[in-house]
Amino acid sequence: MQKRLPVLALAFSLAACSLFAPKFTKPNLSVVSIEMLHGNLLQQNFQVKFRIQNPNDRALPVKGLHADLSVGGEAFASGATQKAFVVPAFGDSEFDMMITANMALGLLKLANNLDKQSDSVAYDLTGIVTIDLPFVGDVPFHQDGSFSLK
């Protein structure tokens, strides 16, 4: 009986935590605009404006975000922000993030797609939003699509 008591206590503790854990719906993240700030042949810096929409009934304190952009299945750019901000309940917020890319490599990949007679190239934007709420871990996001080469 003494061996079962710690196991039962742990089970009840986990059940109690699930009762008090807030109901959380994953926020939506989208790219609003991209602006090239400066660069050279090897590296370019872009300011990317994101919009995060909060479908929850409580404010969403964001500690930071990391994003990776792949073009044509190949890593193209990445960036991170450690700037904290709050997205209001049932609201949205926009924020800027610096992303560093290698445009020369990207242009070579695009040229390769043009040789294949492709009308578009696929992109993937993936990353993690770090939320500052108890019982809510990092929230992964993924946005994909394609853009026309014509």
Q: For residue range 46-65, what is the model confidence (pLDDT) as tens digits? A: 887 888 899 989 898 988 88
Mean pLDDT confidence for 71-89: 84
Return the top range by mean pLDDT from 22-31, 82-91, 141-150. Answer: 82-91
* Average pLDDT across the chain, whole number: 76
Tokens describing residue 67:
């994003």
Interatomic CA distance for residues 115 and 109, integer angstroms: 10
**3-class secondary-structure state, position 36:** strand
Beta bridge partners of 65: 81, 129
Interatomic CA distance for residues 92 and 89, integer angstroms: 8
pLDDT category of residue 86 using cuts at 50, 70 and 90: very high
Return the top range by mean pLDDT from 7-16, 35-44, 89-98. Answer: 89-98
41: enclosing H helix or E strand? none
Tens digits of per-residue pLDDT, 121-143?
A: 777 888 888 888 877 778 888 87
State percent of the chain over pLDDT 70.
Answer: 71
State percent of the chain over pLDDT 90.
Answer: 8
* Whether pLDDT at 150 is above 80: no
Q: Which CATH architecture has domain 23-148?
A: Sandwich (2.60)
* Whether pLDDT at 19 is above 50: no
Q: Give 100's contacts (C-beta < 8 A, 6+ positions apart).
A: 43, 44, 45, 46, 77, 78, 79
Place of tokens 């810096």: 45
Tokens describing residue 13:
């503790």
Rg of the chain taking only CA atoms, in angstroms: 21
